[in-house]
Amino acid sequence: MMQKKVCMLGGFAVGKTSLVRRFVSNVFSDHYHTTIGVTVEKKSVKVDDRDVMLVLWDIYGEDEFQRVRESYLRGSAGYILVMDGTRKATLDTALALQQTAARTIGAVPFVSIINKADVRSEWEIDERVIEQLRERGWPVLFGSAKLGQGVEELFALLATQMVSAPSFPRD
Amino acid sequence: MNSRNPEFTPVDESLFNRVLLTLDIAVLERSEDGSAFHLRGLPPKWWRLCFGLAEATTLDSNRCSPFLREYLMNPHPVWENKTGEIERSGPWTESKEQGGTMTLEATALSVGSKNLLLIERLGSHFEHMRDIVQRARERMLTEDITTKSYRKTQTRLIGQLEVSERTKDDALALLQHLGITALVLDERGHVTFVSDRALEMLGLGSNDVVGQKLERVLPFQEQDRQLVQHLLDGSSRTGSGGPFRLDRARPQWVEVEIHRDPLHPDRRIMVLHDRTEIHALRQALNEQASFHDLVGKSPAMLRVYQLVRDVAQVDTTVLIEGETGTGKELIARAIHSCSGRKHKPFIAANCAGLTDSILTSQLFGHKRGSFTGAVNDQQGLFEAAEGGTLFLDEIGDIPPPVQTALLRVLQEKEITRLGEARPRKVDVRVVAATHHNLSEDVVRGSFRADLLYRIRIARVQLPPLRERREDIPLLAHSFLSQLCTATGKTVDDLSPDTLRLLMSHAWPGNVRELKSAIEFAVISCKGRDILPTDLPPEIAAMPVAPSPSTWIPLSGQDEKSKLLAALSDAKGNRTEAAKRLGVSRATFYRRLVELNIHPR
Ligand SMILES: Nc1nc2c(ncn2[C@@H]2O[C@H](COP(=O)(O)OP(=O)(O)OP(=O)(O)O)[C@@H](O)[C@H]2O)c(=O)[nH]1
Ligand SMILES: [Mg+2]
């Protein structure tokens, strides 16, 4: 079965672990337990009748004290940039991480998601900014790990893009 | 240690194993081709939980987690180039076979020709570090939330402030722009805003007003202050009152309008209207109205004025004598106003044509049931005038029984209500008036002599108008301007012909007749000047410039023969005769009686 390494990237507490757990085990917890290092989970998806095993690298959230270890990114076929709609600063982190990823692993497919759509009224990221991201060529999805909204779509979209993307020899 | 073992064969197997166990580290050696990793020494206890039996000395890459597998497969310069450095994988979380997780970290290094892989379980030190990170992040999140809610509140408040500032500014700008004399008061009655126009009116600076209590800014007299406060406290949306007097160096009169601020129900907008000028005019008008028959500067009138002043100073009974229309009541008022009783009531009563019981009850009051129609106890005019002045007009017409009662009141200074036995003390100054010659009445026996002496302690004789003709232009102009102010008509003057007519008229009705004539003329007048045709017909019909002596003095035999002539001309028709003489019917009748003429 085709395996694809996918990195979950984003600032701390944006919901990377929550998205993975919702996708893989269909569970969610309001309790915050920060990820240290990396936890790897797997789940297969179907793309055009082909099974693709997604190997999801749930990497610790980046903050001002911890930069993401580039070695974690190597070998990724794609990545997911997660932002927290209620915290504008997570958008800047996502922008920086996208540059790190592009530098480290090249132009592999990626999808971005603005998480916590269940508390839309508290969002700080507004439509204008989202429009700017789309203009940069970012696929931007909205979702909620809490409600399970947009989660399947997120991974399915990336899987499709990865399958159809030309594969480059790694570094 | 003096030599390194290039084959990495521990000198003392048991020591090496004990060190590894203590550090909780597994040591693996990478095969030459990199396809296999062999355990060296004893693996730590956790090894079995993840990688199966401890006896297996080769790492089964199928049992490896994806992270480790990738780490093993990836090229590592420390192995390829034998740099002698070490390279860490970074922590990863591994699932135990029986469930649960643990965090591991791998280190690649080369020792001599051998490539080694150390796998270490991150223990208490790591957990401690993780706790710190967790707490730091949690704190950042809560701080973020706090900041956000703080910012939200701030934004909301700023928004509210802006809106309120804006609406406030709009409203205040409007008050300024429209030049409205306005003050805004807060719930404590302090001034929070004052328009430029209000400052101008009050002659104050903004600093003297803003922040001050209203009563300091607007020093109303106590009674007015209460009325204004009542308006401010009122529950209605708007209210108004006044004019109220402001006790300032130059007294001002203002009308006050109170509006509730719709946005802040506790706030009040106070609009002031300066009525000082109007008040002065009105007062002047009032004064003139109540003293208007006293207009005049003829020697006769000047004597009267002096007499009024003198009489006012003593608290005696006064008798005012004068023809009808000469202004006897106004003289009485003038006496009252100049006297020490000016703040007490002035009551005027006309004694003519009343039966004794009605007059008695009117003057002294009555007890309920004392006569038919006396349904209540009623105080009389004496009691009503307590402390002040009672003006008894036409005193000569009082029936004898009342004269007796009146005399007693003047002597005893007490009255007894009709139907009561108990006398009541009164302190009233009586000013009486008559157009009769009371001495003649005494001689005739219709008036009590003792009463006459009692009331005629002081005496003011008012000249008829025809005896002070020089005052006619002054009086006419004074009436004219009063009427114009009152009616809003603009009549500037009297034409010379009109004036001549007025001067030559006999004025049997005296000043009252002159006033009615001017009233009539102002109403008829179409232009700016009063023309002879605007005057009442009986005056206008007079040939201009007849000898004034034909009518003057209009007394005694002359007058009697005039009346008789007029009557015979009018074939005995009294109305017609009065018309021919240019006097009212009432005057004509009265003169007939006075002069003892009994036409058939
Ligand atoms: N309301 C809401 N809360 C969410 C959602 N997703 C995650 N969270 C909460 O956000 C917090 C962080 O979620 P995690 O999934 O641990 O975030 P993370 O990105 O893995 O964080 P790190 O591992 O520290 O980088 C937790 O308290 C979650 O319950 C969501 O969709 N809606
Ligand atoms: Mg996480």
Instruction: Name the CA dihedral angle for A4, A5, A11, A12, rounded to a multiple of 10 degrees.
Output: 110
For the domain with range B13-122, which CATH number is right: 3.30.365.10, 3.30.420.280, 3.20.20.150, 3.30.450.20? Answer: 3.30.450.20
- For residue B373, the Cα-to-chain-centroid distance in whole angstroms is 47
The CATH number of domain B552-600, selected from 1.25.40, 2.60.40, 1.10.10, 3.90.550 = 1.10.10
The third-level CATH classification (topology) of the domain covering B179-274 is Beta-Lactamase (3.30.450)
Residue A109 gets which letter from DSSP? -
Q: Which residue in B89, B126, B137 is closest to A12 by CB distance? A: B137
- Cis bond upstream, residue B553 (ω within 30): yes
CB atoms within 10 A of CB B600: 4
Model confidence over B91-107: pLDDT tens digits? 998 877 777 888 999 99
Say whether A38 and B144 touch across the interface (CB within 8 A): no
**What pLDDT, on the 0 to 100 scale, is given for residue B286?**
47
Same fold, B13-122 and B179-274: yes
User: Which residue among B65, B74, B138 sits closest to A32, beta carbon to beta carbon?
Assistant: B138
Chain B environment of A33 (Cβ under 8 Å): 134
CA of A33 to the centre of ligand 2 (A): 7
Beta bridge partners of B194: B183
Distance A54 CA to ligand 1 centre (A): 21
A150 lines ligand 1 (CB under 6 A): no
Which pLDDT tens digit goes with each residue over B234-252?
Answer: 777 778 887 888 887 778 8
Please state, in angstroms and rounded to a whole number, the distance separating the CA atoms of residues B183 and B258: 10
pLDDT band at A103 (very low <50, low <70, confident <90, very high): very high
Domain ranges of chain B: 13-122, 179-274, 288-461, 464-549, 552-600
Q: Quick one: what percent of chain B has pLDDT higher than 90? A: 29
Contact status of A124 with chain B (Cβ, < 8 Å): yes
Identify the architecture of domain B288-461 in CATH: 3-Layer(aba) Sandwich (3.40)
Residue with the nearest Cα to atom 29 of ligand 1? A30
Residue B571 tokens, joined:
């074939």
Helix (H, G, I), strand (E, B) or coil at A156: helix
Neighbouring C-beta atoms of residue B345, cutoff 10 Å: 15
Does the CB atom of residue A59 touch ligand 1 within 6 A? no
CA of A15 to the centre of ligand 1 (A): 3
Q: Are B541 and B580 in contact (CB under 8 A)?
A: no
Q: What is the pTM of this model?
A: 0.49
Range of the domain at A99: 2-163
| A158 vs B59: which has the higher pLDDT | A158
pLDDT band, very low/low/confident/very high, at B131 (cuts 50, 70, 90) = confident
Residue in A closest to B130 by C-alpha: A36
Rounded average pLDDT over B314-320: 94
A169 interface with B at CB cutoff 8 Å: no
Higher-pLDDT residue of B429, B263: B429
pLDDT tens across A41-87, in order? 999 999 999 999 999 999 998 877 677 888 899 999 999 999 999 99
Give whole-number Cα distances, B106 to A14, B60, B89, B122, in Å: 28, 16, 5, 10
ipTM of the complex: 0.89
What angle do the packed helices B556-569 and B585-594 form, to 10 degrees?
120
Q: Which residues of chain A are within 8 Å of residue B150 when distances are taken between CB atoms? A: none
Cβ separation of B133 and A34 shorter than 8 Å?
Answer: yes
Structural domain contains residue A109: yes
SS3 B95: strand
The residue to mutate among A17, A22, A86, having the most atoms of ligand 1 within 8 angstroms of its beta carbon, is A17
Residue A171 lies in a domain: no
- Smallest CA–CA distance, residue A34 to chain B, in Å, is 6
Q: Which amino acid is at A106?
A: G
Query: Is A169 part of any domain?
Result: no
Mean predicted confidence (pLDDT) in B176-202: 87
Of A147-156, B225-234, B279-288, B450-459, the range with the lowest mean pLDDT is B279-288
- 8 A C-beta contact, residue B351 and residue B395: yes
Number of structural domains chain A divides into: 1
When the pLDDT of each residue in chain A is averaged and rounded to a whole number, the result is 92
Say if A103 falls within a structural domain. Answer: yes
Q: Is residue A168 part of a domain?
A: no
B426 SS3 class: coil
Nearest CA in chain B to A33: B134
Where residue A36 sits, what CATH number does that domain have? 3.40.50.300
The alpha-carbon gap from A151 to the nearest alpha carbon of chain B, in Å, equals 23
> Please, which pLDDT band fits residue B355 given cuts at 50, 70 and 90?
confident
Q: Which CATH class is domain B464-549?
A: mainly alpha
Q: Has residue A112 got a pLDDT over 50?
A: yes
Closest by alpha carbon to B316, among B108, B182, B459? B459
